[in-house]
Structure 1
Amino acid sequence: MNSFPKYLVPFYLIVFSFCQSKQNQTPDAFIQLADQPAIKVRAGSEEKAALEFSISDGYYILADYGSDHNLQFTKLNVTGNDQIRTGTPAFPEPADHMLSGSDYKMKIFAGKLKIALPVQVAAGTASRNHVLDGKLSYQICNHQKCFFPRELDFKMNIQVP
């Protein structure tokens, strides 16, 4: 004779599916690059590109500097070519954050992360759309834990008129 009440089966299925859906969410879903129009840069000049990343509510990424070797601090890399070069990215001022249960202070980014990136186009560069590969390396955390370091690959369109 089975002692498990059959009327509880739907309840357990709902709870199990909810737990599975939360478990299967990956940190990659918590940071995204906003849609960017092509950045217009004339041949022989330089402009600043504004890259805007959205970090989901309740999550943060570690700022672009630090000395703790166990953590991955945020880095932006955009690969240029012979005609188009990128400079050092300018990150905004990070916020202070105290790690729960300790007196360890971290610098973090949360919400919107706007990074300014200098883009130089060499004189004589062909007038057309150029595509550069970019990568944001980061470690995302919430109030309970930090996830393994991640990378977000993206494309950056440079329009040379």
Structure 2
Amino acid sequence: MSFYNFLLCCFLGLFHFQQKQFVSIEEDRIKINRDNTIITIMIPFKILDGYHIQALSNTQDNLIPTEINFEVPEGCTLQKTFTKKYYDTVVLDKVEHKALSHILEVTVTLKCDKRMPSDSSYLNGGLYYQTCNDRQCFFPRTLDFCISY
């Protein structure tokens, strides 16, 4: 990714007006491991206290499951794993379902054709989720992010 793409990513992140986010990335807890052409990135997402987001699958018909998507860097393949999920059982309209709360950790493994330069490599992505509290559910939203590795 060029320097100008990075600036555009940062600019959009700073000035992108949207609804309140109930999920954030704990940037000081991101872990990056580089081993030649394999890069492993652990991304911790913090869910605000008092709220939960929908499960990754098997949600009720009127709820939207959580998804995460990445822009795969050129010359790489990507594997993602949800490594830490705290499921709660939540009752909405007398129906029980699983929801994610507290911390959601995603581990991304990039396998690249060649060694990526460490000063100009970025992983862009978006977490698409629907938040609820004990009284209501909110419209779905997307948390866009850009991680330097």
Which residue of 119, 135, 139 corresponds with 1:144? 135
Code of the residue aligned with 2:131 in structure 1: it is I
Which residue of 109, 118, 121 corresponds with 2:112? 121
Shift of 1:35: 1.0
Code of the residue aligned with 1:82 in structure 2: it is E
Which string of whole-angstrom CA distances, capped at 9 and with x for unpartnered residues, describes residues 68-111 of structure 1? Answer: 34211111111112233321332434424131451x22111111
Q: Show the 5 A alignment for 1:47-66.
A: 47-66=39-58
Which residue of 85, 110, 120 corresponds with 2:77? 85
- Paired residue for 1:14? none
Higher strand share: 2
Count of residues in correspondence between the two structures: 130
Q: Show the 5 A alignment for 1:12-161.
A: 26-28=19-21, 30-36=22-28, 39-44=32-37, 46-102=38-94, 104-126=95-117, 128-158=119-149
* Alignment RMSD (CA, Å): 2.3
- In the aligned structure 1, how far is the partner of 2:93 from the partner of 2:115? 57
Contact 2:45 2:104 in 1 (8 A): yes
Change (3 A) 1:65 1:100: closer
Contact 1:140 1:147 in 2 (8 A): yes
- In the aligned structure 2, how far is the partner of 1:79 from the partner of 1:139? 21
Using structure 1 for the length normalisation, give the TM-score. 0.69
Contact 1:27 1:147 in 2 (8 A): no
Aligned-residue identity in percent: 25
Larger CA deviation: 63-72 vs 47-56: 63-72
- In the aligned structure 2, how far is the partner of 1:151 from the partner of 1:53? 13
Code of the residue aligned with 2:136 in structure 1: it is K
- In the aligned structure 2, how far is the partner of 1:157 from the partner of 1:38? 11
Structure of greater Rg: 1
